[in-house]
Structure 1
Amino acid sequence: MRLPFLRPAAVAPVAAVPPDSPAPPAPPVDDGIMLETVGLTKAYAGADGELPVLSGIDLTVRSGEIVALLGRSGSGKSTLLRCLAGLLPPSSGTVRYRGTPLTGANPGTALVFQTFALLPWLTVRQNVELGLEARGVPPRERARAADQAIDLIGLAGFESAYPRELSGGMRQRVGFARALVVEPDVLMMDEPFSALDVLTAENLRGELMELWESGQFPTRAVVLVTHNIEEAVLMADRIVVLGSRPYGTIRETVEVDLDRPRDRDCAAFDELVDRVYRIMTGRPKETRPPGRPDPGRADANRPDRRTLATTPLPTASVDGLSGLAEMIAHRGGRCDLADLADELGLDIDDMLPQVDALDLLGFAEIHGDDLLLTEDGTAFAHADVQDSRALFAAAAVEVPLVRLITNSLRGEAGATVRAGFFRDLLAHHYTSEQVDRQLETATDWGRYAGLFGYDAARREYRLDEAFPGTMLP
């Protein structure tokens, strides 16, 4: 059941920030462009110089539109959002708000976070008032504005409640009210529904879209960061798909020309989801004669051309990728991923790491919307435990990080290498969080394959016993 967004008290606009507020007056809109980036690049300091996260981003956000930044983990979408909000300075390039380059926090934006970010010792009303208080709005005015925003977002009656008394969905409503009460030109949302259960997320998405369509939404534009393809197609007017190899770039921009409210079950919706999925999986648009292979992609996929920098490991466990391989084998070795996701009650995005892992190991290939097991993949899916380990070892040892760890341990049983050695090497190409994920996956794969062991207490890799995959040519 939908909560009533639009009540009589909510129709009046939220109180404006007074003239003495430190927020500077917004310059006039140039051709409706609220935000713009030109040649935006962002890099972080690493062990071997700067680690690029974003490169050459050209993006515009216009009044009256919802723009979704869609990409996998590590594509830089949250970093791009923070650059647009002025919370992170670009390493090069320009970010403009209403035509004026940013030199600090963007006065025309407000953020809604994934993790609610509420202060637990403050009531709902006090949390919502925080932005107005920072702008110097008098107590009576900000209380009135906060109550209007709380009513607008469907939380009337909870003004005096504390965050601990609220469900996850209600806490996120407080986050929305806190952002909307300052009437930002652009509302920015960083995966705002990912911490909620499926039904709560669906309900809150629907209510926000009703509010946006009603004309009562106190903001001119919305920028949404998400990894969920269906969420992007459901909400956005434009989807900006970011790629992450070797750093964040705009892979393609997709216009969503579907009427609202959008029907998930219509053919046009499914076609758009499939199109965006193909873009996200990295398959380039067809620009060459049909049937002719892409030499660039084939060359990059050759095992002897893979490097630590160009071949990140997807966050996929052996059990996860094995389970997907077996499901495909049970369906004749070929399946439509969207159909399989529907059968399992999953989003396609949830399966992408396992898909990437099978592709990287040479166990599967993507053809259009279908995932096909290769000959090796079919053998792996049908093998018993011992044979599957041997097949997996032969494939995993061709992955640069797994091969590096294995080769570093060549010698007699008992040889060890500290994990810090590999961390230092990976730090030349990845952030510290990415380094953690890379080593976790490599350790899982290598241990299952019998290529090496790992002592978590000592934080070191070791060669225990001879295994066919350990002695490499």
Structure 2
Amino acid sequence: DEPFSALDVLSAEALRGELMELWLSKRLPIQAILLVTHNIEEAVWMADRLILMDKDPGRVIAELEVRLPHPRRRKDAYFQTMVDRVYATIAGRTEEQVPGKRPGEPGRAYRMPEARINAVAGLTEKLLEEGGWADLYRLAEELRYELDDLLTIVEAAELLGFVKVAEGDITLTPLGEAFAEASILARKEIVAGRILRLPIIRWIYETLHADDDGRVSADYFREQLQLDFTPEEAERQLDIAIHWGRYAELFAYDEDADELFLEEAPIPAIE
């Protein structure tokens, strides 16, 4: 289970080489090795068969055969194609946005990715530097992200309309380019316009505007979200919504009172 993850780069590479030498020379009295890793390049370099798994819930999503002779070269075109294929298989599982969702409506929950907007901004800035396009696995190396962390940020950027992912490549959209080049204030406005399309954010925003003083207990939102999610996931989704909403200045959060509120209370309607 991730035997090389806690090592420095040079030590990990040396031990991978030692293991592969022992395996290929048949000096190990075993018939198979099962390796769990988040490092896709490591998996393609070492393994003959890849089992790709998803989480929440954990399940097998694909099985790929690596038909490359040993020793393998990372710059080989087929090697890079296999790495791209793995990334494409995993990253391509982003769910489609479900419009019009309000908590409590069965079968229409949409899970927002747990990513910070600043991380999304960093991703778009890096892509802009790269000319608007990059290989996902090269990007992971350069940004020093674990696979799960990078894919969560990519999923958030894709949800906001800032990037597109296809065949292991990530491309900056015109909106993503505008966001990367924008000022802080303009970025907030862009994010506000995008996240108001998301069911949970829009529901919170409309609920606050419907309240007389524009303040609602966070417990209300937690309870409603638990109609669609487990208590743990409901809490996580609320935290994400608060972070994104505060970034875009759509609403704020009073930690002491545990309340969400509008910066400016809505004007009561005159009957």
TM-score of the alignment, normalized to the shorter chain, above 0.5: yes
Report the CA distance between 1:348 and its aligned residue: 5.9
1:380-399 alignment, distance < 5 Å: 380-399=179-198
1:417 aligns with 2:227: no
Partner of 2:74: 264
Determine the C-alpha separation between the residues in 1 that align with 2:37 and 2:67: 19
Partner letter of residue 267 of structure 1?
Answer: A
In 1, Cα distance between the equivalents of 2:4 and 2:227? 33
Question: CA offset at residue 274 of structure 1?
Answer: 0.5
CA offsets 1:235-287 (integer angstroms, 9 cap, x no match): 3221122345x744433210112223332232221110011111111269xxx
C-alpha distance 338-221 of structure 1, shift in aligned 2 (>3 A): closer
In the alignment, is the contact (CA less than 8 A) between 1:228 and 1:349 conserved in 2? no
Question: Do the aligned partners of residues 385 and 434 (structure 1) sit closer, same or farther apart at CA in structure 2, a change above 3 Å counting?
Answer: same
- State how far apart, in whole Å, the 2-side matches of 1:443 and 1:330 are: 30
Unmatched tracts of structure 1, length 5 or more: 1-188, 285-296, 468-473
Q: Which of the residues 388, 405, 408 maps onto 2:204?
A: 405
What is aligned with 2:99? 303
Output aligned runs, 1:281-360, within 5 Å.
281-282=91-92, 300-301=96-97, 303-304=99-100, 311-344=110-143, 350-360=149-159
Per the alignment, in what secondary structure is the counterpart of residue 225 of structure 1? coil
Which residue is equivalent to 1:363?
Answer: 162
* Alignment counterpart, residue 465 of structure 1, candidates 228, 252, 264: 264
Deviation at 1:323, TM superposition (A): 1.2
CA contact (8 A) 2:196 2:202 kept: yes
Letter in 2 for 1:415: R
CA contact (8 A) 1:454 1:462 kept: yes
Give the match's secondary structure for 2:253: strand
**CA 1:334–1:213: 2 relative to 1, 3 Å:** closer
Do 1:409 and 1:417's aligned partners in 2 also have CA atoms closer than 8 Å?
no
Q: For residue 226 of structure 1, what is the aligned residue in structure 2?
A: 37
Matches within 5 A, 1:14-413: 189=1, 191-217=2-28, 219-244=30-55, 247-282=57-92, 300-301=96-97, 303-304=99-100, 311-344=110-143, 350-410=149-209, 411-413=211-213
Shift of 1:197: 4.1
Contact conserved, 1:413 with 1:465, CA < 8 A, in 2? Answer: no
In structure 2, what is the Cα distance between the partners aligned to 1:283 and 1:201?
Answer: 30
Residues 83-105 of structure 1: CA deviation (Å, up to 9, x unaligned) = xxxxxxxxxxxxxxxxxxxxxxx
Question: Deviation of residue 345 (structure 1)?
Answer: 5.2
How far off its partner does 1:215 sit?
Answer: 3.7
Q: Secondary structure at the match of 1:221?
A: coil
Residues 4 and 12 in structure 2, CA contact (< 8 A), matched pair in contact too: yes
Match of 1:50 in 2: none
Instruction: Indicate how the Cα distance of structure 1 residues 271 and 347 shifts in structure 2: closer, same or farther if over 3 A, else same.
Output: farther
Q: Residue 224 of structure 1 aligns to a residue in which SS?
A: coil
d(CA) in 2 for partners of 1:415 and 1:403? Answer: 15
> 1:439: Cα distance to partner?
3.3
Q: Relative to 1, partners in 2 of residues 1:463 and 1:449: Cα closer, same or farther, differing over 3 Å?
A: same
Gap change, CA 1:272 and 1:305, over 3 Å in 2: farther
* Aligned-partner Cα distance in 2 for 1:228–1:432: 31
Q: Distance in 1 between matches of 2:224 and 2:144?
A: 39
Name the CA shift for 1:450/1:221 in 2 (closer, same or farther; >3 Å): same
Deviation sequence 1:339-387 (CA, Å, 0-9, x none): 4445445566552222111111122222434323333322222221111
Question: Structure 2: where are the runs of 5+ without partners?
Answer: 267-271
Whole-angstrom distance in 2 between the partners of 1:400 and 1:225: 36
Query: Larger % of helix: which?
Result: 2
- Counterpart of 2:114, as a letter, is T
Answer whether contact 1:337 1:371 (CA < 8 A) is retained: yes
Q: What's 1:157 paired with?
A: none
TM-score, reference length from structure 2: 0.78
TM-aligned CA distance change 1:237 to 1:466, over 3 Å: farther
Structure in which a larger fraction of residues adopt strand:
1
CA gap 1:434/1:209 in 2 versus in 1, 3 angstroms? farther
Change (3 A) 1:264 1:423: farther
* Matched positions, count: 262
Q: 1:222 offset after TM fit, Å?
A: 3.4
Identity of aligned residues (%): 43
Instruction: Give secondary structure in 1 for the equivalent of 2:111.
Output: coil
* CA distance in structure 1 between the aligned counterparts of 2:168 and 2:37, rounded to whole angstroms: 21
In the other structure, the counterpart of 1:16 is none
Deviation for aligned residue 1:462: 2.5
Q: Give the corresponding residue for 1:448.
A: 247
RMSD: 3.3
Computing the radius of gyration over CA atoms, which structure comes out larger, 1 or 2? 1
SS of equivalent residue, structure 1 residue 392: helix
Letter in 2 for 1:221: A
Whole-angstrom CA distance in 2 between matches of 1:409 and 1:427: 19
Q: 1:397-439 CA deviation, whole Å, 9 max, x = no partner? A: 2223323332332234451222x44444444555555445433
Find the residue that maps to 2:110 and give its secondary structure. coil
